[in-house]
Amino acid sequence: MTARLTGLAAAIMAIGLAPGTLTAQQYPTKNVTIVVPLAPGTGMDTLVRVYAEDLQKALGKPVVVENQPGAALMLAAQNVARAEPDGHTLVVSTSSPMAINQALYRKINYNAEKDFVPLALYVKSPFVLIVNPSLGVDNMKDFLKKAREAPKPFTYGTPGAGTLLHLAMEVLKRDFKFKADHVPYRNSNQIVADVVGGHISSAISETGASLALIQDGKVKALGITSTTPHPRLPDVKPLAEAAGMPGFEAVSWHVLLAPAATPRPIVERLQKEMARITGSDAFQKRATTVGLIPLKPDTVDGMKKYMQVERERWGKLVTQLGLAGSL
């Protein structure tokens, strides 16, 4: 009888520690890995390492940052979608893999809506339209006029076809009826360097990659794609105002996600810890230093709703631009 009870007790303990039934109090039982879809040293990577340190203190287990760049930021997402849903493997993603690529690519190996649950939607990543000062334009209206009248199309650089930066310029081309040839790059810093060197006319650039050069006067920023100015670039107007496009916004965002089947108590614990960390003055100040705009913490349901609205908005635009299923 005693042996049978002992076996039963062991079985109950084993079930209690199984991934599907792990409680918030038992979690975590091992290292927590945050997978980042970009290389070390990027603004995203820098910020993840900031909150990973605080999250490690809160959870009492090491929080390891693992970089998995590749496949237009989709490699990390597809790998974590298949991970054990026990809260020990998380992923950071952006609007491209989570809201745009479903319309743009013929096939992707995860379902952005069904395979993940958001834990923290913590920053927006605005972009800036930059030009070399020698182009001879002082503001967005000058740029649009010159682009329409130029005998040869302007050139503009972005990190690649289908990225949000590419779509933002395509919207400008469509709405203001000018031509510009797209020059795709693999490296954001090289885009900015080629604007400085006069090799391309303009670029839609990540703010963090061009911030120092804008402040030094080596490139001119004509507008920012967020609806509000960036704290580090208070004199750069939103494109909505600078170009006369009421309500226009084209920003990426960083979101920390877990596999969708992660137990609700663990999701709630992680969401609570991340809200505390990312809502702090220290974190929000750090976000602005790398060219990002911090967001107020939101509920899981609030984040899901925001991401769904973004999917619908960008999916519609991709279709309007004739790019649906083009990659």
Contact status, residue 73 vs residue 96, Cβ threshold 8 Å: yes
Domains of the chain from N-terminus onward: 2-125+252-320 (3.40.190.150), 127-242 (3.40.190.10)
Distance between CA 39 and CA 287 in Å, rounded?
Answer: 18
Contacts of 72 (CB under 8 A, 6+ apart): 96, 97, 101, 160, 162, 163
SS3 of 129, please?
strand
Write the burial class of residue 49 (CB in 10 Å: 0-12 exposed, 13-18 middle, 19+ buried): middle
What is the residue-level pLDDT of the chain in tens, covering all 327 positions?
A: 444 444 444 444 444 444 445 666 789 999 999 999 988 888 899 999 999 999 999 999 999 999 999 888 899 999 999 999 999 999 999 999 999 999 999 999 999 999 999 999 999 999 999 999 999 999 999 999 999 999 999 999 998 888 899 999 999 999 999 999 999 987 788 999 999 999 999 999 989 889 999 999 999 999 999 999 998 999 999 999 999 999 999 999 999 999 999 999 999 999 999 999 999 999 999 999 888 999 999 999 999 999 999 999 999 989 988 889 988
The DSSP letter of residue 68 is -
Q: What are phi and psi of 267, to 5 degrees?
A: -60, -45
Distance between CA 97 and CA 188 in Å, rounded?
Answer: 18
| Residue 208 CA neighbour count, 13 Å, CB half | 21
Residue 11: the pLDDT is: 45
Strands (E), 102-224: 116-125, 127-131, 154-158, 180-184, 202-206, 220-224
Residue 255: the pLDDT is: 98
Residue 162: the pLDDT is: 83
